[in-house]
Chains A and B, each alone.
Chain A
Amino acid sequence: MKFKFRIERTPSPLWMIALLPVFAVVITFIISMLILQIAKANPFEAFYYILISPLSSRTSALEVLVKATPLILTSSAVTLAFASGYWNIGAEGQFFAGAITAAFLGTQVGGLPSYLAIPTMFVGAFIAGMIWAFIPAWLKVKMNVDEVVTTLLMNYVILFFLSFLLNGPWRDPVSGWPQSPTIADSAVLPKLLERSRLHLGFIVAILAIIFVWFILSRTSLGLRMRAVGRGKDAARFMGVNIGQTLFLTALISGGIAGLAGVTEVAGIHFHITDAISDGFGYTGIIGATLGNLNPFGAGLAAIFLGLIATGAQSVSRSMNLPVYLGNVVQALLLLVTLSIILMRNYSIKRVT
């Protein structure tokens, strides 16, 4: 008896679609094996430290959520932008705008109680992220300048601005370290649980997911945004003001990315250095894509990326492998998912 199969261009059955993320992870790790071969490391041991070991204790499992907090925010920010047809690659710079603002406001709000100090920082960082997103958005809408390049370049400009602050006005007068003064106690984000670094920022990140979902699917602005995201010509025909919609998209996306700066400055480090971001803005693009531009999907993807980031640290400690393994695995996962997502449109049929 002979079985013959052929691949048809019809949507896959639902169980196949549900299995696609699993396929993506498996293929990513098969490719990672080749890279681990170069480092002469046992791939199964490395996979254990990346995927399993962080979840094996309460402390490290909560640490995954700590690592995921800024990624959830940047992933939501990028999701909103990409779903609306605005290619905001500047979440990294908008993150820094928020972080610089939080580091500044955090030292100024010492006289205020926490319930005023903390909202002040979040509002300030949101506005700072919007301001940093404003220039590329304005150039896009008014001067027809491609936002991809300008948002990318703005990421570098703010790094130099931070470097100026750290080497000039904020340099520690005693130690000479390029790090900003420690923020006031009332500005520190409260811990959510005992014996863990998980802080209020995680709740803010969850709220940001809901906020993005609400805007995109429950408001008329969101309807216009998604129309622009599907196709600018059709949206224009429907009478949508493309420029205004893109502009608002850019500003809201920038503001949300700015919030991630607060969670890192006021939740984890309590000051800012130029090494505060592990490419959070760029990882946000991975999160948004893995989440298929759905805010809840992006949130889950960000937590998974947080797991890989935590796992990369544990693999680096335990097996003495470079911590950059995490960045490699995250990028591979993005590329594999991009390819495998196409399989949604195909199904395997038995020929009889």
Chain B
Amino acid sequence: MNLESFILGVIASSLRVATPLIYGTLGELFCERAGVLNLGIEGTMFMGAFSGFAIAYFTGSAELGILGALLIGALSGLLMGFFSVKLGVNQHVSGLGITLLLTGLSLFLSRVVFPEFRVLPSIENIPPWNPFGKLPWLGQIFQQYWLTYLLILILPFVWLLLFRTNFGLNIRAVGENPEAADGAGVNVYQTRYFALAIGGSLMAVGGAFLSVAQLGAFSPGIIAGRGWVCIALIIFANWRPLGVLWGGLLFGGVFALELRLQTIGLKLPYETFLALPYIVTIIALAFAGRRVTGPAAVLKPYKRE
């Protein structure tokens, strides 16, 4: 294998691997910017992967699968809202509870819906799209799924929404200082619910990308901690959309390099490469940890007096 095709291969798979991470982290961005740490992310991505797959299997339409996952993700966000906004209970525990519930529910339903399969069936996944044809380099890199290309639109849209609209200003206000926002006439509860619903749907689409687009299959190990990597990524990204893009690509690169290095056959146990992204995440946090602080109202429930 020559160096050029190796590098192009790593870049192409970085984009692929980064896609679910970027969707998940953008989802978490909405939640945390509005003042809620959503540890339901792992379960929401898992539920998105399962529901997207199941809907695509029974309707025969991958697009409907993605759409269904999006709606279910929004419901998961609203459930997090019920606990963190309406009841104002501990966000760590309620978020983990949602992850445990959605993970268990997905596994339970997968056995109920596909009882006759010992191994879950696979579906015709969404084919990748290659806009550059046989052009050198670009043609080799851009063989991606449409959900990856869609990020080119979503990222600027998220930035505009958060930093150039009233709605985005409200989200950031309730995440920094809900008392002041309330005083200025912002409906804190409603804004947080909206942000959590948007966040949940983005997370679920990230999960559905894996099952519906990339793999065409669902398995219990499909998310494998990617949600927690997103929670780390957002710190790394300093709670900014552009940072999410760079962070996602960097982490995608680490995952992709790990896959490629395995195929070259370096003399290391393959588990070393599998563990590498998690270890790199921890090290990255150690470097990012000191200098960053998130939105001030995260973890603090708001009670209107």
**Cβ-based interface call for B286 (8 A):** yes
Contact yes or no, B282 A338, CB < 8 A: no
Contact of B96 among A89, A150, A154 (CB under 8 A): A89
Residue of A nearest to B98 (CB): A335
Q: A157-B275, A160-B275, A327-B103 provided; 13 other pairs, C-beta below 8 A?
A: A38-B109, A135-B282, A139-B286, A144-B290, A148-B231, A282-B96, A282-B100, A285-B93, A285-B96, A324-B107, A334-B100, A335-B83, A338-B83
Q: Which residues of A contact B272 (CB under 8 A)?
A: 160, 164
Contact of B101 among A148, A325, A331, A339 (CB under 8 A): A331
User: When each residue 207-249 of chain B gets 1 if its CB lies under 8 Å from chain A and 0 otherwise, what string results?
Assistant: 0000000000000000011001101100100000000000000
Q: A289-B93, A338-B83 are in contact. Are A157 and B278 (CB under 8 A)?
A: yes
Contact yes or no, A328 B101, CB < 8 A: yes
Residue of B108, B109, B281 most packed against chain A (CB within 10 A): B108
Contact yes or no, B282 A322, CB < 8 A: no
Q: A149-B235, A161-B275, A322-B111 are in contact. Are A338 and B96 (CB under 8 A)?
A: no
- A1-B176 Cα distance, complex, nearest whole Å: 51
Residue of A nearest to B104 (CB): A327
Q: Which residues of B contact A144 (CB under 8 A)?
A: 289-290
Does more than half of chain A's interface fall in helix, strand or loop, or is it mixed? helix
Q: Which residues of B contact A342 (CB under 8 A)?
A: 87, 89
**Interface size class of chain A, counting residues whose CB lies under 8 Å from the partner chain:** 35 or more
- A295-B289 Cα distance, complex, nearest whole Å: 32
Q: Which residues of A contact B109 (CB under 8 A)?
A: 38
Residue of A nearest to B224 (CB): A156
Q: Which residues of A contact B89 (CB under 8 A)?
A: 338-339, 341-342
**Cβ-based interface call for B97 (8 A):** yes
Residue of B83, B98, B225 most packed against chain A (CB within 10 A): B225
Contact yes or no, B225 A156, CB < 8 A: yes
- A212-B274 Cα distance, complex, nearest whole Å: 36
Q: Which residues of B contact A247 (CB under 8 A)?
A: none
Contact yes or no, A87 B92, CB < 8 A: yes
**Cβ-based interface call for A332 (8 A):** yes
Q: Which residues of A contact B271 (CB under 8 A)?
A: 160-161, 163-164, 167
Q: Which residues of A contact B282 (CB under 8 A)?
A: 135, 139, 150, 153-154, 157
**Cβ-based interface call for B90 (8 A):** yes
List 21 A-B residue pairs with CB atoms under 8 Å apart, sorted by A's residue number: A35-B108, A139-B289, A146-B289, A148-B39, A152-B228, A153-B229, A153-B278, A156-B275, A157-B275, A157-B282, A160-B274, A160-B275, A160-B278, A164-B269, A164-B271, A282-B96, A324-B108, A326-B104, A327-B103, A338-B90, A341-B89
Q: Which residues of A contact B101 (CB under 8 A)?
A: 328, 331-332, 334-335
User: When each residue 271-296 of chain B gets 1 if its CB lies under 8 Å from chain A and 0 otherwise, what string results?
Assistant: 11011001101100110011000000
Contact yes or no, A38 B225, CB < 8 A: no
Q: Which residues of B contact A207 (CB under 8 A)?
A: none
Contact yes or no, A335 B94, CB < 8 A: yes
